[in-house]
């Protein structure tokens, strides 16, 4: 046998570099071996750390529960998210309450501007009409003792004919003064929008024209006037300034310009909202400010002050339209249950944003679908040719028939039951809009049952595979009732998640 000498493999440049020096002394060798052992120990430690991190991440992702909130715009998705945070992350929630002041002030201002728009239209008609003899005779019979006008000097009688009805609306100098005094609130509203939108990198604010005001685009398409359009943001965290604004919950809040102006105009705002002529005009025009999202006029006395701090309920009721997808990582503060980490995706619900939902379909454990059932007589803001309930049912059909969602738990909230009840009590007939409702009783329980069956029918007929779905009648602005529903939903989702997780 020929003895071989151990030669470096010239084809491998590393083997040359790694060879010990030819003239190495025993002491140097000892030192080198010790150094190599230490390096290996450190390297093994790093490898172990990485392996543990990978295992932890896998374990964590099994523990994480991912929920997608779906439904058309204004269905209540963000409101469910708020309820979840209020119940399961109360410390974080409390710390952020004050950051919502600007949104609530903007909501209140929007309520006022809606009324001013209607009032100004009427005033313009009055100003364009010559004073007729009948109006002059009306003037002579009016006296401040009617209790209608304290600053009265000019009184006009306006005859309106809307939807075949007519009414006499008496606008006085008081209304003109209120209109003048409250008009600067339009500018304050624009300032608040600018401020809230400033943290949004894609936000642009085209002042005065109908151009690209981000977040208003698809509502703008519906031809609404600029002041009636809705404001939205891509992320609450940026817009509301969390966590910077949330740092010192006990310090008095800064009295900024919008707060100062609202406090100064508090009595005028109350006067406008309590005015009987204004209320009658709104009624005739079918403008139900009190049923619109973000209605705060009844709380003006409390909100339009220098010391106002939002309450839990104010924040739950505040309206801030969602643009795009917001991801919320929520660590349950009061629970050592399995599932302590929840990731909730809150999406924008208007039609132009729905294409962004798809990538999240196969990444979630559960979907909570929000169906606003009070909307049976309303139309989509972004497409007035479409009935809102019809749109919701079509969305539900698309969701249950999607093969991507075959393994996802589905929960339905038949939402806005409080508004449904009010609407039915005011005399709106369901069968006028939903012919198949027939002669059933026009009462909330019957309507809820009828619609629940509709959702179940669609599930039976169109589901990609047989599945159980839980349906709940909700009013998610009622935080106490919603907390109870969420606890049941949470347990159900965790149970389903555990079943699947065992096989991951
Ligand atoms: N009265 C009442 N108001 C509700 C209910 N659910 C939601 N709202 C209000 O309706 C408005 C719209 O709710 P959001 O949660 O912002 O709706 P959304 O589905 O997130 O809408 P987008 O972000 O546009 O997709 C808010 O002002 C809520 O306070 C309800 O059950 N009853
Ligand atoms: Mg939203």
Tell whether ligand 1 has an atom less than 6 A from the beta carbon of residue 96.
Answer: no
What is the whole-number distance in angstroms between the Cα of residue 216 and the centre of ligand 2? 14
Tell whether ligand 1 has an atom less than 6 A from the beta carbon of residue 324.
Answer: no
* Average pLDDT score over residue span 363-385: 93
* Confidence (pLDDT) at 222: 35
Given a cut of 60, is residue 224 above it in pLDDT?
no
Within 8 A by CB and 6+ apart from 101, the residues are 253, 259, 308, 309, 310
What is the Cα–Cα distance from 348 to 324, expressed in whole angstroms? 5
Given a cut of 80, is residue 310 above it in pLDDT?
yes
H-helix segments, 408-474? 417-425, 444-462
Could you tell me how many residues make up the chain?
Answer: 504
* pLDDT over 70, % of the chain: 76
Tell whether ligand 1 has an atom less than 6 A from the beta carbon of residue 258.
Answer: no
Given a cut of 80, is residue 313 above it in pLDDT?
yes
* Average pLDDT score over residue span 366-379: 96
Given a cut of 60, is residue 165 above it in pLDDT?
no
The per-residue pLDDT for range 25-67, each reduced to its tens digit, is: 889 889 988 998 999 999 999 999 998 888 777 666 667 889 9
Q: Place 171 in a pLDDT band, splitting at 50, 70 and 90.
A: confident
For 315-328, letters b (16+ CB in 10 Å) and e give bbbbbbbbbbbbeb
The per-residue pLDDT for range 248-302, each reduced to its tens digit, is: 666 778 889 999 999 999 999 999 999 999 999 999 988 999 989 999 999 999 9
Boundaries of every domain in the chain: 64-89+332-501, 101-132+149-315
Domain 64-89+332-501 in CATH 3.40.50.10440? The answer is no
Q: Does residue 156 contact residue 135 with C-beta atoms inside 8 Å? A: yes
* pLDDT over 90, % of the chain: 51
Q: What radius of gyration, in Å, describes the C-alpha atoms of the chain?
A: 31
Q: Of ligand 1's atoms, which has the minimum distance to the CA of residue 75?
A: 19
Ligand nearest to the CA of 216: 1
Given a cut of 90, is residue 344 above it in pLDDT?
yes
* Confidence (pLDDT) at 417: 97
Given a cut of 70, is residue 229 above it in pLDDT?
no
Given a cut of 70, is residue 462 above it in pLDDT?
yes
Tell whether ligand 1 has an atom less than 6 A from the beta carbon of residue 368.
Answer: no
Average pLDDT, the chain: 81
Helix (H, G, I), strand (E, B) or coil at 233: strand
What is the whole-number distance in angstroms between the Cα of residue 266 and the centre of ligand 2? 29
Given a cut of 50, is residue 394 above it in pLDDT?
yes
* Average pLDDT score over residue span 367-391: 95
Nearest CA to ligand 1 atom 14: 76
């Amino acid at each position: 046998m020929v003895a071989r000498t151990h030669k470096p493999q010239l084809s491998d440049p590393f083997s040359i570099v790694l060879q010990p020096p030819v003239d190495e002394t025993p002491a140097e060798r000892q030192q080198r071996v010790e150094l190599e052992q230490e390096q290996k120990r450190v390297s093994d430690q790093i490898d172990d750390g990485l392996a543990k991190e990978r295992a932890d991440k896998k374990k964590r992702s099994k523990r994480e529960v991912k929920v997608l909130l779906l439904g058309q715009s204004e269905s209540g998705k963000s409101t469910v998210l708020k309820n979840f945070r209020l119940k399961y992350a109360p410390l974080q929630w409390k710390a952020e309450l004050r950051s919502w002041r600007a949104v609530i002030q903007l909501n209140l201002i929007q309520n006022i501007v809606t009324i001013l728009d209607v009032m100004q239209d009427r005033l313009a008609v009055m100003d364009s009409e010559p004073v007729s003899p009948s109006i002059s005779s009306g003037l002579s019979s009016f006296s401040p003792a009617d209790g209608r006008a304290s600053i009265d000097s000019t009184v006009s009688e306006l005859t309106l004919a809307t939807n075949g009805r007519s009414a006499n609306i008496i606008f006085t100098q008081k209304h003109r003064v209120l209109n003048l005094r409250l008009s600067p609130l339009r500018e304050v509203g624009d300032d608040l929008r600018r401020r809230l939108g400033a943290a949004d990198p894609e936000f642009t604010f085209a002042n005065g024209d109908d151009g690209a005001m981000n977040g208003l685009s698809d509502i703008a398409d519906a031809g609404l006037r600029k002041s009636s359009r809705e404001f939205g943001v891509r992320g609450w965290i940026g817009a509301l300034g969390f966590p910077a604004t949330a740092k010192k919950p006990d310090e008095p809040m800064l009295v900024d310009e919008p707060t100062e102006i609202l406090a100064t105009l508090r009595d005028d705002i109350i006067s406008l909202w309590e005015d009987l002529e204004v209320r009658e005009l709104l009624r005739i025009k079918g403008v139900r400010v009190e049923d619109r999202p973000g209605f705060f006029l009844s709380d003006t006395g409390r909100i339009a002050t220098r010391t106002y701090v939002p309450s839990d309920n104010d924040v739950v009721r505040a309206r801030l339209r969602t643009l795009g997808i917001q991801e919320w990582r929520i660590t349950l503060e009061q629970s050592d249950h399995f599932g302590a980490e929840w990731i909730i995706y809150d999406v924008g619900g208007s039609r132009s944003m729905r294409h962004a939902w798809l990538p999240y379909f196969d990444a979630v454990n559960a979907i909570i679908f929000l169906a606003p059932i009070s909307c049976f007589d309303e139309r989509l803001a972004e497409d007035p040719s479409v009935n809102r309930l019809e749109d919701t049912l079509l969305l539900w059909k698309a969701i249950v028939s999607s093969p991507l969602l075959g393994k996802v738990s589905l929960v339905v909230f038949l939402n806005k039951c409080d508004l449904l009840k009010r609407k039915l009590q005011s005399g709106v007939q369901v069968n006028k809009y939903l012919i198949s409702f027939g002669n059933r009783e026009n009462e909330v329980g019957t309507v809820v049952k009828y619609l629940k069956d509709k959702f179940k029918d669609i599930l039976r007929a169109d589901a990609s595979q047989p599945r159980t779905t839980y349906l709940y009648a909700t009013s998610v602005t009622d935080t106490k009732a919603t907390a109870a529903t969420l606890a049941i939903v949470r347990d159900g989702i965790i149970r389903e998640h555990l079943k699947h997780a065992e096989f991951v």
